[in-house]
Chain A
Amino acid sequence: MDTQTWIYLVVGLTFALYLGIAIWARAGSTQEFYVAGGGVNPVANGMATAADWMSAASFISMAGLIAFLGYNASPYLMGWTGGYVLLALLLAPYLRKFGKFTVPEFIGDRFYSKTARMVAVLCLIVASITYVIGQMKGVGVAFGRFLEVEFETGVMIGMAIVFFYAVLGGMKGITYTQIAQYCVLIFAYTVPAIFISFQLTGVPFPQIGLGANMADGTALLDKLDQVVTDLGFASFTDPEHNTLNIFLLTMSLMIGTAGLPHVIIRFFTVRKVSDARISAGWALVFIAILYTTAPAVGGMARLNLMNTIQTGPIGSPEGNLEYENRPEWFRNWETTGLLAFEDKNGDGRIQYYNDANPEFAAEAASYGWAGNEMVTVDRDIMVLANPEIATLPGWVIALVAAGGLAAALSTAAGLLLAISSAISHDLLKGMFTPKINEKQELMAGRIAMAGAVLLAGYMGMNPPGFAAQVVALAFGLAASSIFPVLMMGIFSKRVNKAGAIAGMLTGLLSTVIYIFVFKGWFFVPGTNWFPNTAEYWLLGIQPESFGAVGALLNFAVAFGVSRVTQAPPAHIQELVESVRIPRGAGMPTGH
């Protein structure tokens, strides 16, 4: 069977599975729609959380980042896993004990304020919508490359699938689909990695293979460092000396992870508090399988790529691959424009080196090289082309296609649920039309979900030009506004309504403004006040890393304001005490 047939088969089967689950897991009540009925097994919820969490960015982009940034991509690895420690220890069990449907609902009750709840809804909706656009775009890209359909058609097929199981099944449908999607995506990610690790080092575990020796006895990482530095690139394992930004970026991603509402609400679906704790552990186990594999995928793909092009000694005329003899995968990716070659010195061979490195310029010139000829090497192809680079069979390539789609769809569904529950439960039931009955609320939830799917699809097809920037915004918002206020709501009895609102607004505005002054207001190019370069950054802090600073300001302002205003009423202090004790956690309710 050829690769294309395999792709249709595997993607078609996984989609049939998701639709089957959707029909089986229909939601009959708001409890099922918002929290999947509240009795999800903690291991199953861990798996669903992992799929919910790992997006198209984790699946497709992260290994590519590592391939080209090496050590300097570490904040993504540590940040997007270390956040689960914070979530498990500081938030999940207590929010589960609180026992309601949404994150803004906790903020509204704990700070006895509808305003606080509104601000939380605003943060949630902005963070989730920006995030979901990226997922829809990922669906379109994956379809475009693998199923040879138009980008828009791809997005529409993706929308139709999500629409079906999210609108019909709510959290219940999403939970069981995410479990299936996790299995698809983790299998798709690890199988090529195992093959490649085995090819290069003889060790089937990529995590160990990355630290193992190659057939010639040198360590793989030493070899990789040498291959890249010999061509003027930065060493793979050495840190770039920008410790402050690496530190703050890791911190922002960690607390942002812990504060993302679509992840937090997954812990409302388990039966009791102790289940919420262990479920976070399982979630991290399932996430860690992919995250510890990613450095191996990145490093090994980089080595394979370099060796494919630099086939012999550097500087010898025969040392570089002849363009005419380039492999099949090279041709495939050239047609997508994600890989491009330009024969600058007209020798018919490919020179791939760092022509921006002044120390290497003289050496390159002495070989008759006239600039780097791999003019485009898109980072995202490292995972997608990896099986082809390593000449793995067609069914593995098909798996990767299905895995990328599973990662994007599962995250999109989780985000859409967070958005629709904020609209139907926090805005309608909690604010504007408190008199609606359960049936009406369920219908409102479905309509909100349908609206959110359509909006996400539309934005995915017409990205507002800032799709690449939005991740920083989503994490910045979650880190600076949502996480601190949740944590203070549990760990302090003294922080009151005024403190929480002032803190949230300070964190939110400081972070958003800091991002906008360097990246343009609402990311409109040219509207930035300062160039986005280190000389202009406050204390040298890049906008992506500012979420942690925003969080710090949030804590400081909230405590300060609370100190000079009245303590929360007695019943709120009792609420905090009850949240801290596991016993008595009922099923989540809407009342």
Chain B
Amino acid sequence: MNHAPESGAAAYWKENVRLLMTLLVVWFVVSYGAGILLVDLLNQIPLGGYKLGFFFAQQGSIYVFVALIFIYVRKMNQLDRKYDVHEE
């Protein structure tokens, strides 16, 4: 069998989009949220010698971006197998 049944493909895509949305919410929160919109508020909190808002803008968001892609890869590989659309 080369292709998952039609309903399977639709369900796979739906789950994929839900995962994307979740990850993109985090993507938005760490960069635009913590690094830009809430920067003044978070700058009141120290993290070592960093102010937290500054830290998110210049370090933290980048670490989270890397983590997000690897989480996505892991989850998608599971999803591919669950719906039997993975590659050989």
Contact = CB atoms under 8 A, between A and B. Distances in A.
A203 B35 CA distance: 25
B69 A84 contact: yes
Contacts of A246: 36
A151 to B, nearest CB: 33
A179 to B, nearest CB: 20
Contacts of B13: 580
B68 to A, nearest CB: 5
Nearest to B47: A211
A212 interface: yes
Given A212-B49, A250-B32, A583-B86, A88 B69 contact: yes
A280 B66 CA distance: 9
A327 interface: no
Interface in A483-501: 491
Contacts of B20: 89-90
Most buried by B among A89, A210, A220, A582: A89
B87 A221 contact: no
Interface string B38-52: 011001000111110
Given A85-B23, A247-B37, A580 B62 contact: no
Contacts of A239: 39-40, 53
A66 B11 CA distance: 46
B56 to A, nearest CB: 9
Interface string A244-281: 00110011000000000000000000001110011011
A585 B87 contact: yes
Interface string B5-35: 0000100110011001001100100011001
Nearest to A73: B58
Given A219-B49, A222-B49, A281 B59 contact: no
Most buried by A among B13, B47, B49, B53: B49
Contact of A582 (B17, B40, B86): B86
Contact of A85 (B27, B51, B63, B80): B27
Interface string A277-298: 1101100110010011001000
Contacts of B54: 71, 221, 237
A288 B62 contact: yes
A54 to B, nearest CB: 14
Contact of A74 (B3, B58, B70): B58
Contact of B23 (A89, A288, A291): A89
A89 B72 contact: yes
A581 B85 contact: yes
Interface stretch (A75-83, A394-402, A452-460): A75-83
Nearest to A72: B57
A44 to B, nearest CB: 17
A335 interface: no
B31 A82 contact: yes
A554 interface: no
B66 A284 contact: yes
A239 B54 CA distance: 8
Nearest to B57: A74
Interface in A299-354: none
A85 B49 contact: no
A560 B14 CA distance: 24
Contacts of B61: 77-78, 81-82
Contacts of B49: 210-213, 219-222
Contacts of A208: 48
B31 to A, nearest CB: 5
Given A222-B49, A237-B43, A272-B87, A291 B73 contact: no
Given A210-B50, A581-B9, A582-B86, A288 B58 contact: no
Contact of A288 (B16, B50, B66, B87): B66
Contact of A221 (B50, B53, B80): B50
Given A211-B48, A221-B50, A274-B76, A583 B3 contact: yes
A77 B47 CA distance: 19
A437 interface: no
Most buried by B among A81, A85, A582: A85
A243 interface: yes
A213 B50 CA distance: 10
A207 interface: yes
B60 to A, nearest CB: 10
Nearest to B68: A85
Contact of B35 (A74, A93, A207, A585): A74
Given A272-B87, A281-B66, A221 B51 contact: yes
Given A82-B61, A247-B36, A281 B69 contact: yes
A584 interface: yes
A363 interface: no
A212 B48 contact: yes
Nearest to A97: B87
Nearest to B80: A582
Given A288-B62, A580-B13, A581-B4, A78 B87 contact: no
Contacts of A295: 58-59
Most buried by B among A212, A238, A583: A583
A577 interface: yes
A277 B76 contact: yes
B9 A577 contact: yes
A583 B63 contact: no
Interface in A199-248: 207-208, 210-213, 219-222, 237-239, 243, 246-247
5 contacts: A78-B57, A82-B65, A85-B68, A281-B73, A292-B58
Interface of A: 66, 71, 74, 77-78, 81-82, 84-85, 88-90, 93, 207-208, 210-213, 219-222, 237-239, 243, 246-247, 250-251, 272-274, 277-278, 280-281, 284-285, 288, 291-292, 295, 491, 577, 580-585
Kindly list the 6 A-B residue pairs having the minimum CB-CB distance in the complex, ordered from nearest. A219-B49, A74-B57, A281-B69, A211-B50, A211-B48, A211-B49
Given A71-B39, A250-B32, 7 more contacts: A210-B50, A250-B31, A250-B35, A274-B86, A281-B66, A582-B86, A583-B86
